[in-house]
Amino acid sequence: MVKYGLDYTRCRWILPLLLGLAVIFGIISLAGWGWISSQSLPFVQQGSLWKICYLENEWQCRSLMDYAWGKGAAGTFLVGFVIVVICFALSIIAFAIDTLRMNFIRGIGGLCFVAAAFAIMGLVIYPVMISKYVIFPLGSVNEFNWAYGFGWTMALMAIGLGFFFCCLPLYEDHILGNVKPYYYP
């Protein structure tokens, strides 16, 4: 890329693809069972955003939607996820239609920041309140696992992409192909 110069017209689809990746991470986080787990043999406990299950002799589950904080954590994270999906759709529209391209790119960046704020609220509410209201056995090790990590990845990607979408209109002429690329010798 350095040899031939940075061609913005070829690289313009990277940001929508990264938003699509953030959507995939959000889906994995919403559907995953690995939000929290604890193990103190013979007692095993696993939880998702929606319910928590424990194994003594057989698996028994209870919904976290019975608690107000469970509804709050799930709702705020879900709102953040929906806003990321909206940002993904808007970014595809912005880069596919030539006349609309730069008109609302900064708005997409602002929506990415709002999505990250909602997702982070849900990701902070969950561990604080689950450790307060869900009983874990003494001597067990509680771990926030892979699905919780995918939620944080979605939120951090939304923050980073928000910065890129806000700075992108500064290079409008480069993206539209109005500037001759500089070739490095």
User: Which residues are CB-contacts of 124 (< 8 A; sequence separation ≥ 6)?
Assistant: none
**Euclidean distance between CA atoms 24 and 96, whole angstroms:** 21
pLDDT given for residue 5 in this prediction: 46
pLDDT digits (tens, 9 = 90+) for 74-103: 999 999 999 999 999 999 888 777 655 666
pLDDT given for residue 152 in this prediction: 96
pLDDT digits (tens, 9 = 90+) for 135-170: 777 777 778 889 999 999 999 999 999 988 887 766
C-beta separation of 36 from 29 below 8 A: no
State how far the alpha carbon of 134 is from the alpha carbons of 54, 80, 90, 110, 166, in Å: 11, 25, 40, 36, 41
